C-alpha cells in the first residue's frame, strides 16, 4: 500500500497503556477524525512525524480536543482492547511535565466522520 501524507488539525498525541503513541486529530481535507498507527519518528520543530505504517502526518495549528477525533479514538481503543490512555502532547512538544488525562474504555489506523451511532 502506498504511503500517504496526512494533515491533521485539532490534534493530540495519545499514549496507550501498552506504551504506544498515536496521532489523533481531524483531517484537514474533510474534517473526519483519524487515529494513526504507532508513531516511530516525530519532528517537534516542524510538527510532522512518521508512523509504523509509513504514513507521514503533518500537524496543523495548535493541539486541541476534537469531538470527531475523540469518537474515533474511543472506537479504536475498544477495537484494540486499550483500557486506558494518557495525553502526552505536552511531553512530546516540550518535554515539560504536564498533567495526565487517564481515560477508561491497538493497531490499525482508523478514520470516521465523528457522527453519533
Q: How many domains is the chain partitioned into structurally?
A: 1
Cell readout for 62 is: 495548535
Q: Mean pLDDT in the chain?
A: 83
Asked whether residue 117 is domain-assigned, the answer is no
Closest CA to 51 of 61, 62, 40, 66: 40
Look up the pTM and report it: 0.79
Asked whether residue 18 is domain-assigned, the answer is yes
Asked whether residue 80 is domain-assigned, the answer is yes
Beta pairing class for 33-35 and 103-104: unpaired
Question: What is the residue range of 25's domain?
Answer: 5-112
Q: Are residues 49 and 12 in contact, defined by beta-carbon separation less than 8 angstroms? A: no
Of the pLDDT bands very low, low, confident and very high (cuts 50, 70, 90), residue 29 is: very high
Asked whether residue 108 is domain-assigned, the answer is yes
Asked whether residue 87 is domain-assigned, the answer is yes
Amino acid at each position: 500500500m502506498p504511503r500517504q501524507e496526512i494533515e491533521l488539525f485539532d490534534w493530540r498525541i495519545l499514549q496507550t497503556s501498552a506504551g504506544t503513541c498515536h496521532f489523533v486529530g481531524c483531517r484537514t481535507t474533510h474534517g473526519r477524525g483519524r487515529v494513526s498507527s504507532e508513531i516511530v519518528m516525530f519532528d517537534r520543530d516542524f510538527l510532522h512525524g512518521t508512523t509504523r505504517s509509513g504514513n507521514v502526518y503533518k500537524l496543523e495549528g495548535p493541539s486541541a480536543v476534537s469531538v470527531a477525533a475523540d469518537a474515533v479514538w474511543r472506537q479504536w481503543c475498544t477495537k484494540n482492547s486499550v483500557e486506558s490512555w494518557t495525553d502526552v502532547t505536552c511531553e512530546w512538544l516540550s518535554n515539560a511535565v504536564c498533567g495526565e488525562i487517564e481515560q477508561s474504555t491497538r493497531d490499525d489506523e482508523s478514520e470516521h466522520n465523528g457522527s453519533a451511532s
